Amino acid sequence: MPTIRFEEVSKTYENGYLALKSVSFTINEGEFFVLVGPSGCGKSTLLRSVAGLEQIQSGNIYFGDENITSYEPKNRNIGMVFQNYALYPHLTVFENIAFPLQIQKKPKIEIDTLVRSVAKQVSLEQLLDRKPKELSGGQRQRVALARALVKNPNVYLFDEPLSNLDAHLRAQMRIEILSLRKKFQKTSIYVTHDQTEAMTMATRIAVMKEGNIVQIGTPTELYSNPKTHFVATFIGSPTINTFEGVFKSNNGNFFFEDIQSGIQFSVPSIPKDYITNTEILFCFRAESCRIASTLEESGSISFDLVEYLGNESLGYFSANIRNMIVRLPADFTIVPGQKYTLHSNGTNYFFFDILSGERIFTEE
């Protein structure tokens, strides 16, 4: 269970696209580390660099104290699960799982024992004689998992393994992967563009953008303390509410005013450098406010849509042409013609520089 260390890792493709830009960070021993970000951010390139499937132009990758940058994939002792399963269609489930052991020239008796043991752990013991075409998507993904597990590698790599599954199977496979993680306690890197997968599975997350690591932290840290506007908008569902405007003060009381809508929000304090009407981004999450039926702080609003989710509802509305989302009680229903008011809870406000996107911290 080695640590994995990236030291100024860069990768440029033949077309000149710079996929990784001097990436440096460390994954701790035994961590389930998730790389998340939009398409083209470099997360899969970074994972494939660990596997040896991509050759980096500069920098180094270490497993513990061992520099594995120049190692062939077969010499890195990794188990990799791909997005498209990558199963051999002419082989049975047993033969697909056994394939890496056969490459290692393990004895037949040992192969049989290991394959059946791993198959039982991922609930495939009744399917060992079937071909991949006879399996469901979830069963095929479990075969791919078993093939990675049976090698007993030092490091597990997951390249968007659930993206081809429907919502129900994705949820089920998340639980199965988490159960296996607890059982094997191996250092793992998991790539996804789905922030829900990242939040529910990771011990720590690296948010990537344009070949860079924007922020690394636990799911709680990224959600509650984003360092940039990009992280604030990418992490969390529904997406965070964003306004563009200026700080103002009146008789010692501070507030933020949205330029587009004119909506005002009271704030406890503001940075000195931003008192003089400097434009910023102001954000808060859907649970950081409540709805009342009286006209007070934010002006009159009418809901455009309420989305029922079972344990809660999400309210979508326009306030003076600015779209917003708030969390509501599960039994909330729209009253035709009813006007509502947005009340903030006075906490969990985030301010960001409009040019750099960096977080602005207020003086308490």
**Interacting residues of 296 by C-beta distance below 8 A, sequence separation 6+:** 341, 343
116-148 pLDDT tens trace: 988 888 888 898 999 999 988 888 888 888 888
**Interacting residues of 3 by C-beta distance below 8 A, sequence separation 6+:** 26, 27, 28, 29, 62, 63, 64, 187
Rama region for 152: left / alpha / beta (φ>0; ψ in -120 to 50; rest) = left
Q: Which residue has the higher pLDDT, 324 or 46?
A: 46
What domains can you pick out in the chain, each with its CATH number? Answer: 4-234 (3.40.50.300), 241-360 (2.40.50.140)
Q: Which residue has the higher pLDDT, 75 or 180?
A: 75
Give the predicted TM-score (pTM) of the model: 0.86
**Which helix (H) or strand (E) segment is 307 a member of?**
strand 302-308
pLDDT at 337 over 90: no
- Span 353-361, mean pLDDT? 89
pLDDT at 298 over 50: no
Q: Which of 135-139, 183-187, 319-323, 329-333 has the lowest mean pLDDT?
A: 319-323
Residues 197 and 170: beta-carbon distance below 8 Å = yes
Question: Looking at residue 364, what DSSP letter applies?
Answer: -
Q: Helical H runs in 185-337?
A: 195-201, 219-224, 229-234
44-93 pLDDT tens trace: 999 999 999 999 999 999 999 999 999 998 889 898 888 777 888 999 99
Among 18, 17, 42, 12, CA closest to 214: 42
